[in-house]
Amino acid sequence: MAGERRHAGTAYIVAPDSGAGPGVVVLHSWWGLTPFFRSVADRLADAGFVALAPDLFTGETATTPGEAKALLEGSDATAMAELVRSSVTVLRGLPATPEGPVGVVGFSMGASLGLWVASREPDAVGCVSAFYGTTDVDFAPMRAAVQVHVAELDELESDDAVVEMEANMRLVGVDVEVHRYPGTAHWFFESDRAIAHSPEAAEQAWARTLELLHRHLDAAPET
């Protein structure tokens, strides 16, 4: 079980029992910073990382797609992007994290933001695990390794967008791997979305995410 858990301003921060470890920013989807996304941070701490999950909607959460869409449409995109950028900076500067880049784990909207910040802060982000989310930014500055987790039956994210993003990344030399999960839908990783959750696919994607983070951030392996 991980160590101290606390809210800090507009973020949820959790450290492993050791009190220190490589940093990982967790970026929630359009549901807001719900208990599920806090649990993702907790699981990362259990794996040896210091996790920081910024609250991109400043306390608001949604339970239905309609509510979530309204939250997203009513948000300040620029302020949200800057909060992601500052979260990376804050996490890197904590005494509990070592010098060097941090990782990012993002979901849907959060995946897009994670890829965005990796391209804007190439020295600060070492790897990104992006769940069912894409972006069309300039990937040339990016140094992070990227892992993309794609639902086969995704009504919100087209496979064409994934293919185009992967091609653009490879064109400029980004280290990218794309994993597709047969029979899954958008939100397949999220256990609180019963209609879409796929436990087997989620577990496989989680194992791949931890392997990516350990490989690029030099965290101690799980015991």
Query: Taking Cα atoms as reference points, which of 183, 193, 185, 222 lies closest to residue 206?
Result: 222
* CB crowding 100-135: b at 16 or more within 10 Å, else e: ebbbbbbbbbbbbbbbbbbbbbbebbbbbbbbbbbb
pLDDT value at position 174?
Answer: 97
CATH number of the domain within which 29 lies? 3.40.50.1820
Per-residue pLDDT band for 194 (boundaries 50, 70, 90) equals: confident
Q: Residue 133 sits in which domain range?
A: 5-217
Query: Taking Cα atoms as reference points, which of 97, 43, 56 lies closest to residue 206?
Result: 43
163 three-class SS: helix
In a domain, 162, yes or no: yes
**Distance (Å, rounded) from C-alpha 148 to C-alpha 82?**
23
In a domain, 105, yes or no: yes
In a domain, 223, yes or no: no
- What pLDDT digit, counting tens, does each position of 118-156 carry? 999 999 999 999 999 999 999 999 999 999 999 999 988
Q: pTM of the full predicted structure?
A: 0.91
